[in-house]
Homo-oligomer: A and B are copies of this chain.
Amino acid sequence: MNKKRSSSTEDILGHQFGAFYKIPIEKFFQFALSVDCVILGYHENGLKLLMIERGTEPHKGKKALPGDLVYPTEDMELAADRVLKDLTGLEDVYMTQSKSYGQVDRHPIGRVVTVGYYSLISVDRYQPLASSWASNVVWVDVKELPQLSFDHNQIVDQVLTTLRERVRLQPIGFELLPKKFTLGQLQELYEAILNTTFDKANFRKKILGMNLLNDTKELQTQVSHRPAKLFSFDKDKYESLLKKGFSFEM
C-alpha cells in the first residue's frame, strides 16, 4: 500500500483523458471505504432486517445498518463477512454485493464511500451473540421501516428492489428457510417478499414440477392438523438442470 507514487497520474494510472490533474496524485488517496450489510431473515410471516441502534452521534438513537470501515489491506468482501460474523456468528451464508454510495457529504468525518451488501440467513441458524453490542440488535420488519441513519434507507430500498427481482429468477428464497421446510412455508415466504398471493395448489405444482426439491420423507411436527411433508432444496439438481438449459422462474 505504501508504494512510491509518481506525480504523473497519466503515466501510472493510464487514464488517458479527463483534465490533466492539477493537484498531486496523493490528494486522490483521501477516501475511506466502508461496508454496510443488509441482513435479511424470515420469521413470523415477514421479511425482517437486522439492525443496530446507534448509541452515539451522529444519528444517535436512530437505527442503522451494521457496517464498518474496511482496513486498507482488507478486501471488501472480507470486511462484509467480518461484520456479519461479528454480529451473528454466521459464516458461509449467501452474500451479494449491492450498490455503492459515495455522496461527497454523506459522512461528517470525511469522504467515506460505502459498499452495500445483502445476505440472506436462515433464522434457525442465528443465535444472537452475547457480546457488548448485542443488546442493540433488533429485527425490523421491512414493511415497517423507520427512518434510518445516513443514506441507509436508500441502501435498503435498493436491496429490496433487487431482491424482489432476483428471487423470481434465482432459487435463493431457500436461503431464508431452514434446511427442511414445507411447501406452505415456501409459499408464504414468496408471498411476503413479492407482496402477493398464490393459489396453493398451483404453487405446489409449479415448484414440484421444477424437480429441484427433495422429499425428506419427514413430516412437520407439533401442528394441530395434518402435518405437511418436509422438503429440502437440492443444489446439485439445480446445477445439473442449469446445464440442460433450465431457467428458474417464479
Which residues of chain B are near A70, meaning CB under 8 Å?
Answer: 28, 31, 102
Which residues of chain B are near A104, meaning CB under 8 Å?
Answer: 1, 73-75
The answer on a CB contact under 8 Å between B131 and A102 is no
The answer on a CB contact under 8 Å between A64 and B14 is yes
Which residues of A from 1 to 43 have beta carbons under 8 Å from B? 1, 3, 5, 9-18, 21, 25, 27-34
User: For chain A, which range describes its interface: under 10, 10 to 19, 20 to 34, or 35 or more residues?
Assistant: 35 or more
Known contacts: A109-B5, A113-B33. The answer to whether A27 contacts B72 by CB under 8 A is: yes
The answer on a CB contact under 8 Å between A55 and B15 is no
Which stretch from A80-88, A183-191, A204-212, A225-233 is at the chain B interface?
A: A80-88
The answer on a CB contact under 8 Å between B108 and A3 is yes
Known contacts: A9-B69, A69-B28, A169-B165. The answer to whether A133 contacts B82 by CB under 8 A is: no
The answer on a CB contact under 8 Å between B72 and A15 is no
Give Cα A57–Cα B69 distance, bound, in whole angstroms. Answer: 31
The answer on a CB contact under 8 Å between A11 and B56 is yes
**9 shortest A-B CB distances, which residue pairs?**
A31-B31, A18-B68, A100-B100, A28-B32, A15-B68, A76-B102, A16-B133, A14-B56, A17-B133
